[in-house]
Structure 1
Amino acid sequence: MDITLWIMIIGWVFVLIWVPFIIYTNKKAHPKALFVLFFAEMWERFSYYGMRALLVLYMTKVLFIDLAQNVAETQAYGIYGSYTAMVYLFPVLGGLVADRLLGFKKTIIWGGLLMSLGHFTLALQGIEGLEGNMPFFFAALALIIVGNGFFKPNISSFLGTFYETDDPRKDGAFSIFYMGVNIGSFLATLTCGYVGQQINWHYGFGLAGIGMLLGLIVFYFASKTDMLQGKGGQPEEVTKGERKFLGLKPDYGVYIVSLLAIPVCAYMLDLDEVMSGAMIVISLLIIAYLLYQALTAKDKVEGQRLLVVIVLFFFHAIFWALFEQAGGSLTIFTDKNVDRFVGGTEIPASIFQSLNPLYIMLLAPVFSWMWFKLNKAGKEPSTPMKFVLGLTQLALGFGVIVLGAKYFASGDGLVSIAFLAVMYLLHTTGELSLSPIGLSMVTKLSPAKVVGFVMGAWFLSIALANKMAGLIGTLTTSEEVTDDTPASVTLGIYSDTYWIWGFCVVGAAALLLLLLVPLLRKWMNGIH
């Protein structure tokens, strides 16, 4: 019996029951637009996480199979870090495009089309003669990077327009929306992970592309109805013909620049050190610009609220730098050092990435309900305090895996699945305390005219984090490690890295933020 196949089937059945239940129980409390954007984002995340589940494994086991193991892993982490960094860097520009030129609807549709092309291009690498063709591989990733820049920030910002600034339903809406993100991730890691590792890598990538197209179709047809309340159109200056881009109609200008950006991104993917330096410079420039906006704002309250976003930017980056080990070093750790046999079947390492989205599907409604009830009782933690809780739980998750590695591993260096499951549970509760709350916070604290840009800058913190994640991942490699190195040796390398970076560094960040909470609450000026 193939247990992995049964896990995938049960997962799909569960989602087909769970999603209608969530919609039915929340349909009276929220506008229809929430569920349209929920579905569009669900399928977009199916495409992204379906590809992410396979990417590092595909590079180490196929693209770089001829290299020494530590070299293959280092190269894979470098590309993975640059890729995921740019995935979250381009939303800064995508937010500006929506704010100034295309509006939310057109920007989201254009981004979805580019991402679909990227996934199908990855699938085409299975054609004889293209396997291992690195320029083709980088071009596929570049299409996804540019497309995601248009799609990702704007669907979140668009959701915020359907609620008033301090609407008590807003955090709950973003938690439900975030559950849609993770339903897509759950189905993707199960389906694309199984198909990619057990059948064919390129079929897995192709499924990711189909998922993206489904999300695009859902959004496009909804935009033709009143479900989106007529919102998300182009700015008035554009519709009146008063605003051009590069001397062209904004639509054409954006499309041309987007296509020109693809070869540039493809080239940058293979320049790890240059990409690291560029990320730091870009981050500093954008933070400096936001600081300038905050400190020179005519409205002092608006300026202070923007300062809160800037401070939390850095703690947000620390959280994701360690959380994103899930798609990198934790997947390789699972492959090497976790006892994956269940009922006589060895479960593929990529499948374990589905634990995080499964927990979110189960717990997001609980967190949504909990925040709402605590709000009514006047006891809901402030946004900065929720960030402290998120960082603390992330640190505890790494503490669990270190505990399992140091004291409960088998003689041959394998850790029980139970420790991995508990680690992902703590990482998930940490994520639910921080990530959807951060999205909601940006829409509450940003000046209305630049909310798209600030949301893009917020995703920049994840871009910086993903580049850091790639660098932290390389600390788990060693020149002494080969294909024949016993698991007991690699276990020590992983546990030491996770103890220093996952537990100690993240724990210290949580403590520092706890000391800053009173000041940040004051700067929020009444917005909870």
Structure 2
Amino acid sequence: MDVAKWTLILGWAFVALWIPVVIITNRKTHPKALFLLFFTEMWERFSYYGMRALLTLYMVNVLFLGDKMADTRALGIYGSYTAMAYLFPVLGGMIADKFFGYKKSVVIGGVLMMLGHFCLAIKGSESLFFLSLSLIIAGNGYFKPNLASYLGTFYEKNDPRKDGAFTIYYMGVNIGAFLSTLTCGYVGQRIDWHYGFGLAGIGMAIGVLIFILSFKVFGDTGNPPAPEKKILGINPNFFIAGATLLMIPFSMFLLSMSSVMSTVLVATAALIIGYLLYEAFTSEDKVQGQRLAVIVVLFFFHAVFWMLFEQVGGSLTLFTERNVDRVVNGSEIPASLFQSFNPFYIMVFAPVFSWIWLKLNKAKSEPSTPMKFVLGLFQVGLGFLMIVIGGKFFASPGGLIPIAFVALLYLFNTTGELSLSPVGLSMITKLSPGKIVAFVMGAWYLSIALGNKMAGVIGALTSEGGTASLTTQQMLTQSVSTYLVWGVGVVWAAALILLLFVPKLNKWMNGIH
């Protein structure tokens, strides 16, 4: 029996039953726009995570095959790619705020990403591979901050339904991720890598189409904020189009030069955090300044969370391929399919978390946003502890650990993610000044960019010196040692430090929960 194939079939059947349940149980609580944006984001994430499921494995097993440092190169590129995918939303948010509005930005971003995925579907050179990733990076910069920010416009600033709405929206993200890791992963590893990448492009095309067809429901929302002004005497459409085209070869360069990418990322983060601190300390509205300061503090702890969580698409996928016993009922499950654990758990638990936050809110005992971040950090550390325990006490003589420990890692990573990530998105729309919401949302994604780049650096530690000459047992030892230090020790230390700051941050939020 082909377990992977049946998992794929049952996964699609489960989603076909689950989505109607989510919509029916929430349709009277939330506006129709939530569900349309839910489907748009679902298909966009189908494209992103479908490609991500294959990316590191494709680089190691195809693109850099024969290179003794293939792991290090692949994880460095993965870290740079995912970092830029979250860095460019800073610019995309600014463009939407000043010129394009949410609708136009989302459509442009979706089309660019679709082109990138279809380029990946073409068998070609390393340059074509970098071009494909660069198109996706540029498109993601327009798409990612603006769809989430757009959702916030359909709710009042302190609407108690908002955390629940973003949790449902976040479930749409993960339904797309669940289906794509099963589908693109299976097709890519069992049939052809490029067919898997092509399916990701089809998912993006569906997402763009749903969004455009929803304009009638959205009405006049999301349009350009004011008559377009010229930039340096040039029509803004032409200026921004030219700048976007220039960013593509620049991204290709950064993908091939990991150390330069790190410098650019740190410098960009310093500038943006400096600007937010300037806004916070010079604001005439003291309350608004303190709320911005909360965002800046949580920015760093958010980066620490993603630094470990994003091992999923990099070192953890390689760990799963090499150090996990993936044979079930006589059939070996492709390593890429294990990434579906996370979105599956989110589909199951996101409505539960949404319900819990609302119930606790009514009982006036809901944890504050900073406290939810503490819970998120603690749980991601608990997840990596499962891998450490499995590697040290339950590994076979051949260096393989049971699937159960990987499933537990994804479970605790997911509950940590649900405690932190959708709540963080909601927080930005609550605490940011109205005139720069999209920019601050972009800056928030920059913290994920930093985390993703660091994820590549930490992931490379699991294969330091190359893995070609290592036994499976030696690879297990190296990975477990890295995860113990960074995945447990560093993350739990960060959680403890943040816990000490919680009372002050709660005060600075000035009544926003």
Tell me the TM-score normalised to structure 2 length.
0.99
Please state if 1:422 is matched with 2:408. yes
Please state if 1:65 is matched with 2:65. yes
Cα distance, 1:2 vs structure 2: 1.2
Within the candidate set 462, 467, 474, 1:476 is matched to 462
Please state if 1:218 is matched with 2:210. yes
Within the candidate set 251, 257, 261, 1:271 is matched to 257
> Which amino acid in structure 2 is aligned with residue 356 of structure 1?
N
Within the candidate set 464, 472, 475, 1:490 is matched to 475
Cα distance, 1:420 vs structure 2: 0.5
> Which amino acid in structure 2 is aligned with residue 330 of structure 1?
L
Mapped to 1, the partners of 2:437 and 2:329 lie a distance apart of 51
Correspondence for 2:320: 334
Could you tell me the percent identity over the aligned residues?
62
Please state if 1:25 is matched with 2:17. no
Correspondence for 2:107: 109
- Structure 2 unaligned regions, length at least 5: none
Asked if the contact 1:394/1:502 (under 8 Å) is kept, the reply is yes
Asked if the contact 2:99/2:226 (under 8 Å) is kept, the reply is no
Within the candidate set 191, 196, 199, 1:204 is matched to 196
Please state if 1:435 is matched with 2:421. yes
Asked if the contact 2:71/2:466 (under 8 Å) is kept, the reply is no
Correspondence for 2:387: 401
228-237 or 365-374: bigger deviation: 228-237
Mapped to 1, the partners of 2:314 and 2:3 lie a distance apart of 24
Deviations 1:199-237 (A, max 9, x none): 0000000000000000000000101x1x21420001123
Cα distance, 1:480 vs structure 2: 6.2
Cα distance, 1:260 vs structure 2: 1.9
Correspondence for 2:510: 525
Within the candidate set 291, 298, 306, 1:320 is matched to 306
> Which amino acid in structure 2 is aligned with residue 498 of structure 1?
Y
Mapped to 2, the partners of 1:433 and 1:251 lie a distance apart of 39
Mapped to 1, the partners of 2:91 and 2:467 lie a distance apart of 41
Cα distance, 1:400 vs structure 2: 1.0
- Structure 1 unaligned regions, length at least 5: none
Mapped to 2, the partners of 1:511 and 1:434 lie a distance apart of 15
Change (3 A) 1:14 1:246: farther
Mapped to 2, the partners of 1:66 and 1:371 lie a distance apart of 51
Asked if the contact 1:119/1:140 (under 8 Å) is kept, the reply is yes
Please state if 1:253 is matched with 2:245. no
Mapped to 2, the partners of 1:386 and 1:66 lie a distance apart of 45
Please state if 1:365 is matched with 2:351. yes
Please state if 1:235 is matched with 2:220. no
> Which amino acid in structure 1 is aligned with residue 29 of structure 2?
A
Mapped to 1, the partners of 2:162 and 2:294 lie a distance apart of 18
RMSD after superposition? 0.9
> Which amino acid in structure 2 is aligned with residue 508 of structure 1?
A
Mapped to 2, the partners of 1:387 and 1:478 lie a distance apart of 31
Correspondence for 2:151: 159
Mapped to 1, the partners of 2:44 and 2:237 lie a distance apart of 22
Mapped to 1, the partners of 2:241 and 2:211 lie a distance apart of 20
Mapped to 2, the partners of 1:402 and 1:408 lie a distance apart of 10
Cα distance, 1:246 vs structure 2: 4.0
> Which amino acid in structure 2 is aligned with residue 28 of structure 1?
K
Mapped to 2, the partners of 1:408 and 1:65 lie a distance apart of 31
Cα distance, 1:485 vs structure 2: 3.2
Deviations 1:284-305 (A, max 9, x none): 1110010001000010000000
> Which amino acid in structure 1 is aligned with residue 78 of structure 2?
Y
Correspondence for 1:96: 94
Mapped to 1, the partners of 2:270 and 2:300 lie a distance apart of 11
> Which amino acid in structure 2 is aligned with residue 426 of structure 1?
F
Within the candidate set 169, 172, 176, 2:164 is matched to 172
SS of corresponding position for 2:264? helix
Correspondence for 1:502: 487
Mapped to 1, the partners of 2:24 and 2:219 lie a distance apart of 20
Asked if the contact 2:72/2:466 (under 8 Å) is kept, the reply is no
> Which amino acid in structure 2 is aligned with residue 265 of structure 1?
S
Mapped to 1, the partners of 2:210 and 2:234 lie a distance apart of 30
Change (3 A) 1:221 1:271: same
Cα distance, 1:341 vs structure 2: 0.3
> Which amino acid in structure 2 is aligned with residue 9 of structure 1?
I
Correspondence for 1:392: 378
Cα distance, 1:479 vs structure 2: 2.7
Correspondence for 2:44: 44
Mapped to 2, the partners of 1:445 and 1:479 lie a distance apart of 45
Deviations 1:493-513 (A, max 9, x none): 010000000000000000000
Cα distance, 1:357 vs structure 2: 0.2
Q: Which runs of 4+ in 1 moved over 4 A?
A: none
SS of corresponding position for 1:248? coil
Asked if the contact 1:305/1:445 (under 8 Å) is kept, the reply is yes
Mapped to 1, the partners of 2:57 and 2:135 lie a distance apart of 20
Please state if 1:410 is matched with 2:400. no
Within the candidate set 55, 72, 83, 1:74 is matched to 72
Please state if 1:55 is matched with 2:40. no
SS of corresponding position for 1:101? helix
Asked if the contact 2:72/2:463 (under 8 Å) is kept, the reply is yes
Asked if the contact 1:32/1:228 (under 8 Å) is kept, the reply is no
